[in-house]
Structure 1
Amino acid sequence: MASHNIPEHLTGLSEQELKNSREKYGYNQAGNNKKNAWYLMLLDILKEPMLLLLIAVSVIYVIVGNYSEAMFMLGAIIAVSGISFYQDNRSKMALEALEKLNEPLSTVIRNSKVIQIPTHEIAVGDLCIIEEGKMINADGKIVHSNDFSVNEASLTGESFSVFKSLESDDRNVYSGTLVVSGLAVFEVEKIGNETQLGKIGASIQNIREERSPLQTQITKFVKWMAVIGIAVFLLVWSYSYWQSGDLIESLLVGLTLAMSILPEEIPVAFTTFMALGAWKLMREGIIVKRSSVVETLGSTTVICTDKTGTITENSMQLKSLYDYRTNKFYESHQFDDHALSELIQFAMWSSEPVPFDPMETTLHRIYQQTQTKDLRKDFQMFHEYPLEGKPPMMTHLFENSSGQRIIAAKGAPEAILTVSNISKKEKDKLHQHIKEVGKQGYRVLGVAKADFKGNNFPEKQQDFSFEFLGFTVFYDPPKKGIQEVFQHLYDAGIKVKIITGDNADTTKAIAQQAGIINESPAVNGAEIVHHTEQELIELSRKTTLFTRMFPEAKLRMVNAFKKDEEVVAMLGDGVNDAPALKAAHIGVAMGHKGTEIAKAAASLVITDDDLGKLVVGIAAGRRIYANIKKAIQYIISIHIPIILTVSLPLFLGWIYPHVFTPVHVIFLELIMGPTCSIVYENEPMEKNTMQRNPRKMTETFLNWKELSISIVQGLLITLGVLVAYQLTVQNGGDEGTTRAMVFTTLVFANILLSLVNRSFVYSIFESFKYKNNLFPIIIGTTLVLLFAILYIPLFADFFQVTGLNFQELSFAFLIAAISVLWFEGYKWIKRKNLKSK
């Protein structure tokens, strides 16, 4: 409890009181959301077009008395819905695990101990401790406070912060509001749906998620395919009926074709890839708030990063002190020199009484170590000017019981020098010191004191008459291994920009030490305000370091990058980073040192503050996007021969027009589903993926070139399958043998296609080196099922096929190999062209 300086009389709930509160009021969460109940998921799955088609076919088989086919269809319904349910459940579990990790922790006092609990466990009667940068997670009344102000914009729309204390008229605090400064302890009065926020129902969770470009494109593609499916179904049904005069038979043919056209695997694959991608990143220590962000990560073109705590360790060691009176710099081993006493005291008094900032924590510690008498308990802060101005400064006013006052200010050295009573010549000399220290990457703060009688304090802190005392010089070293991180980003064609509140010299030095490429002068936040949008875009292209940045300036720069069609990832951890984090395509907050508001605004949280994880995230985004494309191209390529094998023999009047019945199509669909959504999802990243430039966000997921490759692959497989059909018929094959040859050729082609499409650049032999244990399992299962259909009489009769001899089997494999493996030649030419560039 000492760490928060909480009064001893605040003991919080006991175990029994907590139990009673729970029984009466329950948990701190919005009404139990049952939309993900298993039976509702199942109902959603049963509404899928493919299952509706299967049910229709099953009903027709029962009507005509084909009970064995009807039973197979029932098995297919169970299998298809089982695969969908498994996929949905995996996605749901992954997203639930993410939600749990996303839940912020709250600090409460229970049994006289300060503990951290998940926010949903806050109980009515709890004493919650809230401090700067934290979100308030329940409604209640303040019982203790220290320089406490809160922003209630989420409830009132009023953007100014409100100071509240035990003495103020309004000492209520509300869930969903944000602590701007200080610390408070409040007693919880309302939780969950009973809070003001709960009543409004304005919970962030209910904001509709924006669909990603890829999601929109895929939905559009699937809708078009469904429309084509309906049109072709009606065409084939009427044509077949006109030829045969058999309504039920022709309806079955139409439904078979409709099944072969519907690419229902595509949306399933997309959802699975995104949810599992987010889940895998979570295991790496990257919490993704929205699974569609995974896709955006791979397209990142610009990373805007804060300096302190992101590039640097945020450890803020006090390197040295400059005392103005003696005109000397003192190193850390000289801090107990009596000459520094006043500087150290006022540096501490100008900090928050309960420090949150690493620099202020250090100043309190140095004060404790060097001062013979600790006066902190004797003086109470009675007036404060919060951190403001460009560049910023802050002023604190303390008083003890005998009316003795302390007025202490600290801030950016330029701000403190501007308000201090010293000559221009002296100021120029001090500016030189600031420049020299800043060039070494040190963080400098100016410290000053003032005297003031009476209580009619100036409206602005800058209006006090300050006496300059000196500088505090902090060193925040770059994180270990940060150079490699930035090198990886540069290799991947990603630009790096620093957007910081620090000065230009310090930022330049840290950028150099961190390995950031910078060839242009830094731009100051104050300059940005006067630029037009076009000028900002020009500036954003050539500038790497943006210094002395305040929230609006950060936001303007992020918007300028977006306008310039860059995909922006913004890294930040402070309250002042929140607007820019929210505006960026990907807002990235730090898990340990990030404030609650930064985490709430971000779409991605790095739990251990390791910037290297961002490279992992970008690589994952690129891998997932590449694998989705492979899966979709595979689906398109293999659907074409199924569609044409069902329809062409009928339209061309060949001897066996119904070579495929619904059972054959469903068997092929059951192989394809897991191949695309489970196996391709597990594919590792191709080599050189992180050495390529990011793809453009405006690109469609399949451009015409890629789509035409898939169509050509599908047409050549169709040609191979139809050649197998004709050659078997010409060699005297009956319907059972012809069907077996066509079916076997198509299954072999499907297996080879899934292997060939593992890479659209590297050869099939290169892809064999990729570790994906699911491939041999799926291929092995497919072959076992194929041979069972061909050689086990029960299955052969059901599928109406005849067992093939070794020669026929080899011939089917040869045709499949020719119709698929030509693509290896195409890839070889592509590799040669890439090398010659």
Structure 2
Amino acid sequence: MIIDDFEIKGLTSTEVEKAREKFGKNLLDYKKESGFWFALKSLVQEPMIILLSVAASIYFISGSIGDGLFLSFAIVFEAAISLYQDSRSRNALEKLKEFSEPNCKVIRDGEQIEIKSEDLVVGDSLIVEEGTAIPADGFIVHSNDFSVNESILTGESLAVIKDVAPENNQIFKGTHVASGLALATITHIGNASKLGKIGKSIESIQEEKTPLELQINNFVKKMVIIGTIVFLIVWLINYLNSKAILDSLLKALTLAMSIIPEEIPVAFTTFMALGAWRLMKMGIVVKQMKTVETLGSATVICTDKTGTITENKMTLAKLFVLSTQKIIDLKEEVLSEEEKELIQQAMWASEPIPFDPMEIALHKAYENFTTHDERVNFKLVHEYPLAGKPPMMTHVFENKEGKRIIATKGAAEAIMRASDVNPQQKIAIEEAIKTMTQDGYRVLAVAIANFEGEDYPQHQEDFNFELKGIVAFYDPPKKNIQQVLEKFYDAGIAVKIVTGDNAATTAAIAKQIGFKGYEKSITGDELMQLSEEELEKSVIENQVFSRMFPEAKLKIINALKAQNEIVAMTGDGVNDGPALKAAHIGIAMGKKGTEIAKEAASLILLEDDLSKMVDAVAMGRRIYTNLKKAIQYIISIHIPIILTVFIPLALAWVYPNIFSPVHIIFLELIMGPTCSIIYENEPLEKNLMNQKPRPMTTSFFSWKELATSIIQGLFITVGTLFTYQYAVQNGYDEAVTRTMIFTVLITANIFLTLINRSFYYSIITTSGYKNNLVLIIISITITIMAALLFIPFLTKFFDFEPLSFNQLIISILIGFTSVIWFEGVKWYKRRKTLAV
């Protein structure tokens, strides 16, 4: 049967426009706080902005108008950068929302089309099928084995049967189709829907912070607390020495500013949001920010077979008719009447409006091999949905004359149990199945039954079925799948096939594509019998999991997680939902994936292409590595600023207050763009996808990495303090000393940026990395520094002094030396790796 048989033409284009004008778009539109104003409100609460505001106020009160104006400008500049980064992040996330906007099928102008759910209008004829989310309220005009999960509205998790009966024909927005298919007329959309009326609570739902985000926020909070304590100590020391409250406060604020690493949260948000945006441009929609964090850690990928490893282009390829016990190739042989009858019986065992690829193939084969299409004359009068382990399904059709067709199809094991099959027939069937599955064919058994009366059996297995034969489908492997598997293996990621298909078919396809461990398999029933200890051993040893059902899939995921594996799981059906939700990275298919699968997943592959998952893992590793580089850079460069401000004061050196808030904020303005722009744009390091996945450590800031950053920072501190003492020993005044130290810091900052582009490869290698922003940002930094040194107005404003050629060269060399030593450490790492 086809849509035309129901004589539903749907709305015309004119009627759609009128309905949209009258009722609007199908959106839940609630009042939400403006993103800009929310960002602005958050900004004024930032510790650095507060410190800058206080410092600027003190300058104005004490009469230093120039310094006050500069800090005011710095506040505006800092705010502009933060708002720009926030805007980029929000825009990236908004684009992600657009990409993940669900579609729906409608009949308009007599044709079935696919539209965005928000474009649905009142009066539309909607088609909903298993696995989809219902996008609006309406009433059913036709249904096949249709049931809906309404837990979002009722809290009841069991599916509710729906049909055309007036008391049972309502469907509601936000619920999910658990089984079957229905045609419905839309009555309410958007806020007028039942969900819309009770959905005010949606406004109050806040997105939870991820573990990494919490770790970073806690780190920054600790630094703020330390900064506050040090601020009070320094204020007290200065006040006791000078008795000047405002001057003491200003000097204490200088140190507090140097301690707070406010660039870190900005870098985190920017990296994650822009990373998700980059993934979207590659055809990978990330629904949750935590997925970006986890991608680079994936150790196991559990992948479906159909449509992921194979093309999901089902064609009916072979037949086995039990009466003749011959295997027929549809491409090579002319079909007998018995063989055509088997195709007809398999078609009658399918949904009248097919949506499963195998059922579509059966309807198509029926059209090709029948001379008289009987589908328009028969009506579905009773059905038994796909059920059992392994599953089968049964349909009962009847025409106006009372002729009845009862047909079933499903796994051969299930159909044989429900049929009268003698031992010889069973052997013949099993031999035929073995022959076909060894070549990678997917097989279904087909049977028919006779039944008089209207009191149908409660269970489909209670019919007295006569097994007629086997239909075999071929779904070829994707052309690129072998290369995809090799890339996963190179990256240290184990791949496991988890499928509902039988072991022989799966093993045959796996062997064709060079899948490692294709001979090690276990079925869902066998898996469920294992003890907890045996299960954990089995999920590691076995690579192919066949005849899987939802409970078995979930068990696999949980058993792998229990052994500290980071699990990615691909899926597309309703029965994949629990496992997708449980996996660290649930991956739904964008084209063939059901809405339930997409909702449960944390990531959607728009093109159903597993090779994109390789790209996603690479991007995850790149984002995480670059974020680490940025944060390590921030820590390294903050240490010399803090100690250069604090040590001369604490030890009562000749120039105790070498830097003022003006100098600190200038350094902050240089460091912010460096970490969040340069490092975010860094390409994937060439060895990153040949490394094992990084362990999911409890802390983002491991001691080894922190130690590296601290040591780098201390070496730069040695350089600045050596410069300080060198200047004093040579009788230079405070302005020259300050200028030389500042030059050392800027030089160290530039070379630290270049050196920390990789903690393994040399600066010569990384200079070949494609990142145009490196040259741009460093050129801007050098230009500004030159302006401070050689433009008299700026030199005077910053309390600098023009340096002689020797002073300038010495400062640059000290800055360079204080960071270039790390190239020796990297050389040792490379040599050690090659020696292994």
Shorter-chain TM-score bucket reads over 0.9
- 1:275-674 matches, within 5 Å, as 275-333=273-331, 334=333, 336-518=335-517, 521-674=520-673
Q: Is 1:108–1:127's contact at 8 Å kept on the other side of the alignment? A: yes
Secondary structure in 1 matching 2:821: helix
CA gap 1:685/1:707 in 2 versus in 1, 3 angstroms: same
Given residue 46 of structure 1, which amino acid in structure 2 is its aligned partner? V
Given residue 289 of structure 2, which amino acid in structure 1 is its aligned partner? S
CA gap 1:83/1:589 in 2 versus in 1, 3 angstroms: same
Shift of 1:83: 0.8
Secondary structure in 2 matching 1:169: helix
Greater CA deviation, 102-111 or 352-361? 102-111
**Could you tell me which residue of structure 2 aligns to residue 230 of structure 1?**
228
Given residue 820 of structure 1, which amino acid in structure 2 is its aligned partner? V
**Could you tell me which residue of structure 2 aligns to residue 810 of structure 1?**
809
**Pair 1:134-2:132 in alignment:** yes
**Could you tell me which residue of structure 1 aligns to residue 156 of structure 2?**
158
**Could you tell me which residue of structure 1 aligns to residue 107 of structure 2?**
109
- Separation of aligned partners in 2, 1:116 and 1:475: 28
Secondary structure in 2 matching 1:186: strand
- Separation of aligned partners in 1, 2:452 and 2:300: 52
**Could you tell me which residue of structure 2 aligns to residue 217 of structure 1?**
215
Shift of 1:42: 1.8
Given residue 432 of structure 2, which amino acid in structure 1 is its aligned partner? H
CA gap 1:225/1:624 in 2 versus in 1, 3 angstroms: same
- Separation of aligned partners in 2, 1:545 and 1:427: 26
Given residue 78 of structure 2, which amino acid in structure 1 is its aligned partner? V
- Separation of aligned partners in 2, 1:576 and 1:348: 24
CA gap 1:207/1:313 in 2 versus in 1, 3 angstroms: farther
Shift of 1:140: 1.3
- Separation of aligned partners in 2, 1:160 and 1:632: 48
TM-score, reference length from structure 2: 0.97
**Could you tell me which residue of structure 2 aligns to residue 695 of structure 1?**
694
Structure 1: runs of 5+ lacking an equivalent: none
- Separation of aligned partners in 2, 1:391 and 1:514: 26
Shift of 1:170: 1.4
Q: Is 1:13–1:127's contact at 8 Å kept on the other side of the alignment? A: no
- 1:43-122 matches, within 5 Å, as 43-122=41-120
Q: Is 1:13–1:126's contact at 8 Å kept on the other side of the alignment? A: no
- Separation of aligned partners in 2, 1:188 and 1:404: 35
Greater CA deviation, 650-659 or 148-157? 148-157
Shift of 1:40: 2.6
Shift of 1:539: 1.1
Shift of 1:46: 1.9
Greater CA deviation, 476-485 or 211-220? 211-220
Shift of 1:519: 6.2
**Could you tell me which residue of structure 1 aligns to residue 238 of structure 2?**
240
- Separation of aligned partners in 2, 1:377 and 1:65: 92
**Could you tell me which residue of structure 2 aligns to residue 783 of structure 1?**
782
Shift of 1:547: 0.6
Given residue 555 of structure 2, which amino acid in structure 1 is its aligned partner? R
Q: Is 1:106–1:118's contact at 8 Å kept on the other side of the alignment? A: yes
Secondary structure in 2 matching 1:109: strand
- Separation of aligned partners in 2, 1:649 and 1:13: 81
**Pair 1:767-2:766 in alignment:** yes
Secondary structure in 1 matching 2:803: coil
Match of 2:173 among 172, 175, 182: 175
Structure 2: runs of 5+ lacking an equivalent: none
Greater CA deviation, 430-439 or 497-506? 430-439
- Separation of aligned partners in 2, 1:266 and 1:561: 33
Secondary structure in 1 matching 2:517: coil
Greater CA deviation, 112-121 or 687-696? 112-121
Greater CA deviation, 145-154 or 96-105? 145-154
CA gap 1:80/1:611 in 2 versus in 1, 3 angstroms: same
Q: Is 1:5–1:354's contact at 8 Å kept on the other side of the alignment? A: no
- Separation of aligned partners in 2, 1:608 and 1:659: 59
TM-score, reference length from structure 1: 0.97
Shift of 1:439: 1.6
Secondary structure in 2 matching 1:201: helix
- Separation of aligned partners in 2, 1:244 and 1:157: 69
Q: Is 1:197–1:203's contact at 8 Å kept on the other side of the alignment? A: no
- Separation of aligned partners in 1, 2:92 and 2:829: 38
CA gap 1:429/1:11 in 2 versus in 1, 3 angstroms: closer
Shift of 1:33: 4.7
Shift of 1:520: 5.2
**Pair 1:39-2:37 in alignment:** yes
Q: Is 2:378–2:400's contact at 8 Å kept on the other side of the alignment? A: yes
Q: Is 2:379–2:398's contact at 8 Å kept on the other side of the alignment? A: yes
**Could you tell me which residue of structure 2 aligns to residue 735 of structure 1?**
734
Secondary structure in 2 matching 1:27: coil
Shift of 1:149: 2.6
Shift of 1:510: 1.1
- Separation of aligned partners in 1, 2:805 and 2:428: 94
Greater CA deviation, 30-39 or 58-67? 30-39
Shift of 1:335: 5.4
Q: Deviations over 1:50-109 (max 9, x none)?
A: 111111111111111111111101110111111111110000000000001110112233
Given residue 61 of structure 2, which amino acid in structure 1 is its aligned partner? I
- Separation of aligned partners in 2, 1:26 and 1:121: 9
- Separation of aligned partners in 1, 2:358 and 2:515: 25
Given residue 810 of structure 1, which amino acid in structure 2 is its aligned partner? I
Shift of 1:206: 7.0
**Pair 1:750-2:749 in alignment:** yes
Shift of 1:6: 6.0
Given residue 522 of structure 1, which amino acid in structure 2 is its aligned partner? S
Instruction: Name the Cα RMSD after superposition.
Output: 1.7
Secondary structure in 1 matching 2:6: coil
CA gap 1:712/1:627 in 2 versus in 1, 3 angstroms: same
Secondary structure in 2 matching 1:292: helix
Greater CA deviation, 553-562 or 614-623? 553-562
Aligned residue pairs total 835
Given residue 84 of structure 1, which amino acid in structure 2 is its aligned partner? S
Q: Is 1:13–1:109's contact at 8 Å kept on the other side of the alignment? A: no
Given residue 701 of structure 2, which amino acid in structure 1 is its aligned partner? L
Q: Deviations over 1:726-781 (max 9, x none)?
A: 11121121111111101111100111111111111111111101111001111000
Q: Is 1:571–1:581's contact at 8 Å kept on the other side of the alignment? A: yes
**Pair 1:720-2:719 in alignment:** yes
- Separation of aligned partners in 2, 1:13 and 1:204: 34
Q: Deviations over 1:664-699 (max 9, x none)?
A: 000100010011111100001111100100011135
- Separation of aligned partners in 2, 1:704 and 1:566: 23
- Separation of aligned partners in 2, 1:559 and 1:207: 28
- Separation of aligned partners in 2, 1:310 and 1:18: 37
Q: Is 2:8–2:107's contact at 8 Å kept on the other side of the alignment? A: no
- Separation of aligned partners in 1, 2:672 and 2:152: 45
Shift of 1:805: 1.6
Q: Deviations over 1:595-654 (max 9, x none)?
A: 111111111111111110000000000011110111011000000000011111111111
Secondary structure in 2 matching 1:313: coil
**Could you tell me which residue of structure 2 aligns to residue 125 of structure 1?**
123
Given residue 824 of structure 2, which amino acid in structure 1 is its aligned partner? G
Given residue 267 of structure 1, which amino acid in structure 2 is its aligned partner? P
